[in-house]
Structure 1
Amino acid sequence: MQPNSVSSIQVREQHLETSNGSIAPALHQLLDKTPLTFMHTGTNAVAIIARPTESESDHAAAVQTLPAEEVTVTGQSLTGSHLRHLKLDSYAPIDVLAQPELEITGAQTVAELLKFLPAVSGNSTSTSVTNGGNGTATVTLRGLPASNTLVLINGRRIVNNGFGGEAADLNTIPLSAVDRIEVLKDGASAVYGSDAIAGVVNIILRRDFDGLDISSYYGQAVRGDQRTNSYSITWGGGSETSHLMFSLAHYRQGEIRSRDRDLSDSADNRALGGTDVRSSASPSGYISLASGVVTNDGDGFTPWSEDFLYNFREHTSALVPSERQSLYVAASHSLSDTVDAYAESMVIRTRSELTMAPTPVFTRFDNGDLSIARDQIYNPFGEEITDVRKRVQELGPRIQNNDTDTWRLNTGIKGQADEWRWELTAATHYTRANETLSNLIDPNRLSLALKGPDVCAEENGCVAVNLLGAPGSIDGVQLGYIRAENRVDGTTRMHSVTYVADGPLGGNAAGEILAAAGIEIRREAIDFTSTDSAGLSLIGGVASGAAEGQRLIGEAFAEISLPLKADRLWLDGALRYSEYSDFGNTANPKIALRWRPWPTLLVRASYATGFKAPTLIDMNQTGHQSQEFLFDPCTNSNADQLPGCNGRADQDRIQYLTEYGGNPNLQPETSDNRSLGIVWTPGDFTGFHASLDLFEIRQNDVIDTSPQYLITKNAYHGLFRDRVQRDGEGDITRIVATRLNIGAREVRGVDASMRYQYQSKSLGLIRWSMNSSHMSSYLNQLAPGSPVEDLSGTFADAASGGAGSLPEWKANTGIYWQRGRWEGGYTIHYVSDLEESFTLNDQAVTRTIDSWSTHDLQLAYGVPSGFRFAIGIDNLLDQAPPFAASAFNDNFDARTYDLTGRYCYTTFSFSM
């Protein structure tokens, strides 16, 4: 029933009783003798709908009071479709985190909310990712990279982050402005275009809020760190024709140091069943001479031993301190009875600072000629020294600062013509990001500083540096000469215009045909530079390269929902055609079938193709140099028999100069998505809902860069001679490892959920839910001809090129209670065990990473004057993350688990 029809129905004022606490009898009485009835649309939500005809009454009676799969309002489009379904049956599974659930969790960031969703696994980033992090937060559905999950705000695409533009930064979305989050766990390129291979996260902001809401939050770990506070104020109001709302928020997260947790305080993990990964670059030095290895601990040169290995965890951050401020404004105005204008603006400022151990120098492996000349003034040995490993602690810890400023503006008009609705939207988004990493070393200056007086002379401004002295021997003048700072600056921009219309296309004997169509024109641009992009990377830092590029995208899309049998069978379809100015065009269809064999059972199936356009970094990055640890088959004894070898190469080499960079000839990654599921809402068990969905994602032409693959194919098959460059003796001089479409993946699994709610006058409202995801297989092939590996149930750290934690099972369950002014919640999160492989005592070892579960508890009380007070405890049992021997940071996977331990918080809010 359309809103203009409903507005003509008058219902007299009534005083209704709810004797047993259920609202259903009161609604029956209220709507009696009207053409309206109601149905439960989810937890604590009801939709008013048209009363069915007599021929429909049997079916309606069975579904009238059953909860829908997601919290929706009848006639509103769902994530994954532009259609405004009058039916509440989605053809794909959707997880919904609505405002009541957001409040009771106590979460203060979007990334924090999504981290423990069962469908989220793999290499998402957050402020828990320290060495290798950049202050951004992303989400990874199904274990696929973050660039395969599309993030929307109010159903619209947003600009990607400024640090490379790979994916949207969740830290630029203030949780205080969020009304609900919908997670579509299915491919949706036919509806939204690029990036929606693994699914879609649609963040719905508050727009029609009336009144005043002020809230504050404070929390800290029981160990006294991670002190976190946030404040927000939201106001909304207006008249019958206009509305204005704004939300202002501040958030500050405290730090956790690696040394302050038993799990992460040492890099020597042998007692835990791992390896000793302390660094040979210690303050006293590792000095390789012809006579052996010595160190200088202040008592002169003595033989080096493992006792001098350096525990860098004494200095590192395990949770990055960060700060964010945001302003969100939403305004609307009715231009006529059928046309409205609106505008939404958001400004976000984020800052973070992480600490790493002082810069290490490896003269044999770092960029540049870092050998110490025999006549260097600090060299007492009278021989050239090529292998010195020194922790230059005199520089102080490395400090990485990340700053991001984001502006978003969406404006448009929308209206209704008969039963069709239309909307024209214009958007402009801009993100500026910069990163500074201080207390690094300039390799060019250090190279000069390690040479003799004929090269490093004071009159030339050169200052000799003492890498062979005891700790503290590098003085301020020396430090001033070699100290360097790396800076990365990036901007991403997006401008778009979108028009979409939807409504009934007509009808057939089975019901009304719904349709939607639209066009979108979008321009994307990136400008990314770093101080190392023109030469060698600074010692202690990571070369980021540079990129500059833009593209113009034009897209047309259409959807249809065709009833095949009244209230029993529907066929849904979608198609999107995309034209990119840099790589060409692609068309992606989706088809879905919904069948209700019985009133209480829905069977749904879908097939879709998807694509992920290569990012502007992928296509335009200028290469940076790195010394990579690789294996060249031409060093084997059978090198003369291999087509790509010019003789046997140097057997002692383990590192090779590698250049990375973009490739303007890249094509999109493509996918096939299949799903099959059932939804059961038994009529004799009102308030219960269960669903089971099988999914399969097959992905081809995955964009990757694998120098080892290039070397292997070059040696054994004589391929890639332009990328693997060898000299006349067969030794590799350079590897050009630009990105290629070479990988393939196949992910299969099943999602299961159950929910039940019960309400009575004595107990109040009780809700129970369980949500789980099972990854049955994750087949990964790095390149054609390479082996196919099943990564399901394994962990391989992103720092070593792995896909992260891919648990076979991930689940949460909880019970939530509300009665009068009281409400509470108890939630359990679970991650199943994993396997990891690493080398221990020159032997390949596979070990089990234990399963992990945490318990969260919240209790809140509200008073009639509008005040609400809540306390909560996360990780009630103080369960530490499971140890991972191959984890790069802090002996565990920070992308999947939480190091904090027991964490207590309180919130105080006022609403009127």
Structure 2
Amino acid sequence: MYFRHWVTLSLTGLLVLAESTAAACPTSGVQIPSGPLSRALISLGRQCRISLVVQADNAATLVTPSLNIETPHGSIAPALHQLLDNTPLTFTHTGTNAIAIIAKPQESDRVTTATHPLPAEEVTVTGRSLTGTHLRHLKLDSYAPIDVLAQPELEITGAQTVAELLKFLPAVSGNSTSTSVTNGGNGTATVTLRGLPASNTLVLINGRRIVSNGFGGEAADLNTIPLSAVDRIEVLKDGASAVYGSDAIAGVVNIILRRDFDGLSVNSYYGQAERGDQDTGSYSLTWGTGNEHSHLMFSLAHYYQDEILSRDRALSASADNRARGGTDLRSSASPQAYIAVADGVVTNAENGYRDWTQEDLYNFREYTSALVPSERQSLYIAGNHTLKEGVETYAELMAITTHSDSTLAPTPVFTRFDNGDLTIAADQVYNPFGEDITDVRKRIIELGPRVQSNSTETWRMNTGFRGLVDEWQWELTAAAHYTRAKETLNNLLDPHRLSAALKGPEICSETNGCVPVDLLGAPGSIEQEQLDYILSENRVNGASRMNSVTYIADGPLWESGAGSVLAAAGIEVRREAIDFNSTDSDGLSLIGGVASGAAKGERLIGEAFAELSVPLREDTLWLDSAVRFSEYSDFGSTTNPKIAIRWRPVPSLLLRASYATGFKAPTLVDMNQTGHQSQEYLFDPCTNSNAADLPGCVGIADQDRIQYLTEFGGNPDLKPETSDNRSLGLVWTPGDVTGFHTSIDLFEIRQNDVIDTSPQYLINENAINGLFSDRVIRDERGDIIRVIATRLNIGAREVRGVDSTLRYQHHSKKLGLLRWSVNSSYLLQYLNQLAPGSPVDDLAGTFIDPASGGAGSLPDWKANTGIYWQRGRWEGGYTVHYVGDLMESFSLNDQVISRTIDSWSTHDLQLAYSEPRGFRFAVGIDNLLDEAPPFAASAFNDNFDGRTYELTGRYWYTTITFNI
């Protein structure tokens, strides 16, 4: 779908919206629990499906009894009047599905407040600061754009995982991981804002840093955060190292968990692709109770997802894409074998040996899974207790287990290029050619497919105290986080035993227990005894730990003529540690697998931070600043400031601008990893017909190879990646159009000292310019034997773009609640320089597969639009996701071909009914028009980018929820 068509479709949502009245509560009334007014407001907001915004200290000290409040015609106004009667608080509509609870104005201020209500910048919920600051602004103005996925958005989407929710956000692009990534995935899910690596996006839970995944600690695993425990998700689309420290270069994803739930909620979900696969189910139980002094809640959840096999979708069934205008990515390692002998290349067909041809390439997609089957269980407990007036203690415990199994094709053997001496001796018992054979490419189908199993166990515990002294709020938190990960990849081959099994009787005989192996026979010729001798399995065990103590205080410093000067300050001490290892103790990867190597390290981090918000002109102009000093025990210290200005020339218009520096500390894996090997999917320019003209080539290299043995390694001398972030935007909320909100923001990220390990860059420079001969090891024929890629601070990036949002909400007795929204992101430039002196490439609007060291899909346009409707007990949602077209390049017949990857749109629909006794039934359809992902000729996994698109096709699901 062309972008102009998508815009036309989204704008039709505006035509259905008309006059405005009240909100959408159950017509049967609402039940309000006893306890603090803040909890009562949260309960009211959930039942009426509207966000209530309140300054925390305004409502924390007020107590309400248990109430049954009538809501005639579904209006929230009578309930709010009853709750706030005889309190110093009142309310005002402030945005699209948001009501602010504010202090009642003084007599002298009443006319001004009535005439110019202060608008909310975003849909938020009660009692917390917005992500990106520790300050509690009296007005809901943010210096940067924030996407908020709150109730009812979480419920109406039908999503069952956090990664599923974030995948189609316009600001998310690039190389995130998920269960859609089979070859190269490890069962984890990450988020990549602005197309930068996942390690450049900071993931928080309740505003606090969490432990990274156990396979190296580079980014948080979203699969270890159960969606059933999530209250809302806030995505700050701006750098925030001055507020949160390392990793917040591209932005911050703050996942706010439920902590004040009252009652019992039981939820079940089941879905299936229309083609009969990808069965998915989830079950959760949430319970909470409390009084004015204490509250306790817990949540149990189970989730499972079955697989999609590559062969079950037309797009992904074959690696031969010549008919689509692509290349033939089938493997030269076939069951009948590629055998290079003195007289040429032969293969073992049914009737004996014959000449090998391109048509003998092997389609490995017959075995592979395109969507990884997975399973997760979680427990979440949260409680708090008031010790005395103004002081509360709290604790949160989360435990999650995950498991996934991905299927890969049977192990391929490349005797010339794999580890070890795999020459087949002339006197080997199965060698009929009477000569040493060095180059055999054989698919060991007798073993069956390889299965990669990943499992994790994650524990998170936060506990502490918080309180209120005068108008200052303080919090002391201690956290202990731990995650353990295991990976097993079976049906691999031991290179040492295979080496012996391919030699003559002097080396391999029954007397020394060696079993000769037949790599030259027809498919099925390798007997079980031979398989048992060479069979091996790779196991990786990893653990990441994080312990921290944090103290934060915030409140007004003094009153100026323009208003309250707000301040926040705090300190944090954190210890991080990793420890992972694999069974490749000698540093050689097992054939068909990856040598993950080992890494062990820890660091101690001390940080101090402060924020200040100064009103320069009352209700009109504010200056905000923040600074964070970080001291790392392994590489030194860094200081990162931020400054922002907000100007409201008229009550309905906010202009904002900010500048900040940021940093990403090298991970403990970056600094300490050893022994990591894998067969990377790379391209050697020496395979082109013009190889003789390239300084680094010795003739034309082997043109049938797509994988090259690559060694990665850590570097203890790495420095942090650094960045400069700039933003400029405006927010318009016209007071005469209730429920309307729009914003536009320009952003720029300049990043230096990027830590990179690009083997493709090394190969290119070696072939084209004759450089890095010590890192790209070639044999006498010019074929690459090994690539050595150690991490270095060598890269630089500049990313520029525009975010825009538009929201409108309407209530009427006749139509009910209608809400329409548009969220889009346009990538102006993504300038990438792999190393000093190398070319600067603009990757905006391009796709370069991560299997080749690329940044993935970076569409110019990515957007979504949707309409949400609720009337009485009925509600529905309709959402359109859009990904713009992309350019890709690949080599075909010695020519570089550029082609367009088509744009892609999906349409999702849901309808739900809430029954008076507490039941809610919903049915939904994702990808209503059954749009297949666009074909990408350069995509290794399944002929499309699974990180950006979905292969499922039309998908049906239903949910049943019971609430009391």
Task: Bin the TM-score by the shorter chain.
Answer: over 0.9
* Corresponding residue for residue 909 of structure 1: 961
Partner of residue 865, structure 1 = 917
**2:228 corresponds to:** 176
User: Could you list the runs of 5+ residues in structure 1 that have no partner in the other structure?
Assistant: 643-647
* 8 Å contact from structure 1 (residues 66, 688) kept in 2: no
Give the alignment partner of residue 535 of structure 1, picking from 583, 587, 594: 587
**How much does 1:631 deviate?**
6.3
- Contact between 1:569 and 1:594, CA under 8 Å: does it hold in 2? yes
Inter-partner Cα distance in structure 1 for 2:483 and 2:229: 19
Give distance in 2, aligned partners of 1:264 and 1:812: 26
Give, in angstroms, the shift of residue 86 of structure 1: 1.2
Q: Which amino acid aligns with 1:701?
A: D
Question: Which residue does 1:815 correspond to in 2?
Answer: 867
- The equivalent of 1:46 in structure 2 is 99
User: Does the 8 Å contact 1:284/1:471 carry over to 2?
Assistant: yes
Contact preservation (8 Å) 1:66, 1:686:
no
Q: Contact conserved, 2:335 with 2:523, CA < 8 A, in 1?
A: yes
Equivalent position to 1:70, from 123, 141, 164: 123
Which of the numbers 146, 153, 170 marks the counterpart of 1:101? 153
For residue 654 of structure 2, the aligned residue among 596, 602, 612 is 602
Cα 1:15–1:535 change in 2 (3 A) is closer
Query: Is the Cα–Cα contact under 8 Å of residues 404 and 431 in structure 1 kept in the other structure?
Result: yes
* Alignment-derived partner of residue 88 in structure 1: 140
- CA-CA distance at 1:735 after TM superposition: 6.0
Distance 1:698 1:609 in 2: 9
Q: Work out which of the residue numbers 253, 256, 260 in structure 1 matches 2:312.
A: 260
Q: Give the alignment of 1:298-447 within 5 angstroms.
A: 298-447=350-499
Change (3 A) 1:799 1:292: same
1:685 pairs with 2:734? no
What TM-score do you get using the length of structure 1 for normalisation?
0.94
TM superposition shift of 1:840: 1.6
Please give the alpha-carbon distance, in whole angstroms, between the structure 2 residues aligned to 1:731 and 1:122.
Answer: 31
**Which of 172, 176, 193 matches 1:141?**
193
Query: Structure 2: where are the runs of 5+ without partners?
Result: 1-54
Does structure 1 residue 785 correspond to structure 2 residue 837?
Answer: yes
| Equivalent in 562, 566, 569 of residue 517 of structure 1 | 569
Counterpart residue type for residue 40 of structure 1:
H
CA contact 1:234–1:245 (8 Å) conserved in 2: yes
Answer yes or no: is 1:760 the counterpart of 2:812.
yes
**1:241 corresponds to which of 293, 317, 333:** 293
Structure 1 residues 796 and 710: alpha-carbon distance in aligned structure 2, compared to 1, 3 A threshold: closer
Of 513, 519, 541 in structure 2, the residue corresponding to residue 467 of structure 1 is: 519
- The one-character-per-residue Cα deviations of 1:671-702 (angstroms, maximum 9, x if unpaired) are 00000000000111111000000000000000
Q: Is the 8 A contact 1:367 1:626 kept in 2?
A: no
What secondary structure is seen at the aligned counterpart in 2 of 1:827?
A: strand
Query: Over residues 194-235 of structure 1, what are the superposed CA-to-partner deviations in whole Å (9 max), with x where a residue is unaligned?
Result: 000000000000011010000100000010000011100000
Query: What corresponds to 1:750 in structure 2?
Result: 802
Which one is further off, 707-716 or 692-701?
707-716
> How far is the alpha carbon of 1:617 from its aligned partner?
0.2
CA drift of 1:37 comes to: 3.2
Q: Report the Cα distance in structure 1 between the residues aligned to 2:708 and 2:896, rounded to whole angstroms.
A: 24
- State the alpha-carbon separation in 2 of the partners of residues 685 and 405 from structure 1: 50
TM-aligned CA distance change 1:439 to 1:719, over 3 Å: closer
Alignment match of 2:239 (pick from 164, 170, 187): 187
- Output the CA distance in 1 between the equivalents of 2:500 and 2:781: 30
Conserved in 1, the CA contact under 8 Å of 2:593 and 2:678?
no
Q: Does 2:950 align with 1:898?
A: yes
How far apart in 1 are the matches of 2:665 and 2:520? Answer: 51
Q: Please tell me whether the aligned partners of residues 95 and 740 of structure 2 are also in contact (alpha carbons under 8 angstroms).
A: no
Distance in 2 between the 1:3 and 1:138 partners?
A: 35
User: What is the CA distance between 1:618 and its match in structure 2?
Assistant: 0.1
Match of 1:774 in 2: 826
Deviation of the 1:60 alpha carbon? 2.5
Is 2:424–2:503's contact at 8 Å kept on the other side of the alignment? Answer: yes
Judge conservation of contact 1:122–1:143 (CA < 8 Å) in 2: yes
**Which is worse superposed, 22-31 or 823-832?**
22-31
CA distance in 2, matches of 1:570, 1:682: 20
The alpha carbon displacement at 1:650 in A equals 4.9
- Looking at structure 2, the residues matched to 596 and 746 of structure 1 have their Cα atoms a distance apart, in angstroms, of 30
Name the counterpart of 1:270. 322
Distance 2:69 2:174 in 1: 54
Partner residue of 1:451 out of 503, 507, 513 = 503
**1:37 is matched by which residue type in structure 2?**
T
**Alpha-carbon deviation of 1:70?**
2.9
Report the residue type matching 2:714 in the other structure: G
The answer (yes or no) to whether the contact 1:520–1:556 under 8 Å persists in 2 is yes
Contact 1:862 1:869 in 2 (8 A): yes
Match of 2:891 among 826, 836, 839: 839
Q: Distance in 2 between the 1:730 and 1:357 partners?
A: 29
Q: Which of 173, 176, 180 does residue 128 from structure 1 map onto? A: 180
Q: What do the CA deviations read for 1:67-115 (whole angstroms, capped 9, x no partner)? A: 5423133x63111000111111111111011121111111000000000
Aligned twin of 1:645: none
Distance 2:119 2:782 in 1: 72
**Is the CA contact (8 Å cut-off) linking 2:309 and 2:371 kept in structure 1?**
yes
Deviation at 1:171, TM superposition (A): 0.2
Cα deviation for residue 363 of structure 1 reads 1.2
SS of the equivalent of 1:335 reads strand
Q: Deviation per CA, 1:184-203, whole angstroms, max 9, x where unpaired?
A: 00000000000000000000
Cα distance, 1:854–1:627 mapped onto 2, change above 3 Å: closer
Q: What do the CA deviations read for 1:842-893 (whole angstroms, capped 9, x no partner)?
A: 2110000000000000011011111111000000011100000111111100
Which is further off, 673-682 or 659-668? 659-668
CA distance in 1: counterparts of 2:772 and 2:507, whole angstroms: 40
What is the CA distance between 1:36 and its match in structure 2? Answer: 3.9
The farther-off stretch of 830-839 and 654-663 is 654-663
Report the AA paired with residue 799 of structure 2.
V
Q: Using the alignment, how far apart are the partners of 2:341 and 2:355 within structure 1?
A: 11
Q: TM-score, normalised by structure 2?
A: 0.89
Letter in 2 for 1:142: R
- Counterpart in the other structure of 2:24: none
The answer (yes or no) to whether the contact 1:518–1:557 under 8 Å persists in 2 is: yes
Measure the CA separation in 2 of the matches of 1:734 and 1:274.
Answer: 27
1:56 Cα deviation after fit:
4.5
Three-state SS of the structure 1 residue aligned to 2:388 is coil
Deviations 1:478-497 (A, max 9, x none): 00011110111100000000
Number of residue pairs the alignment of both structures matches? 902
Tell me how far apart the structure 2 counterparts of residues 730 and 901 of structure 1 sit (CA, whole Å): 45
1:573-722 → structure 2 map (5 Å cutoff): 573-625=625-677, 650-651=698-699, 659-707=711-759
Bigger shift: residues 808-817 or 237-246: 237-246
User: 2:649 and 2:87 mapped to 1: Cα distance?
Assistant: 30
Contact conserved, 2:587 with 2:597, CA < 8 A, in 1?
no
- Partners of 1:616 and 1:795 lie apart in 2 by 30
Secondary structure of the equivalent of 2:551? strand
**Separation in 1 of the partners of 2:141 and 2:467?**
25
Structure 1 residues 30 and 221, CA gap change in structure 2 (3 angstroms): closer
Relative distance call for 1:631 and 1:623 in structure 2 (3 A) is farther
2:155 is paired with a residue whose SS is helix
Distance 1:657 1:249 in 2: 42
* Superposition deviation, residue 329 in structure 1: 0.4
CA 1:296/1:334 → structure 2, altered by over 3 Å: closer, same or farther? same
- Does the 8 A contact of 1:283 with 1:470 survive in 2? yes
Q: Equivalent residue of 1:767, what SS? A: strand
How far did residue 3 of structure 1 move?
4.1
Identity %: 75
Residue type of the partner of 2:122? E
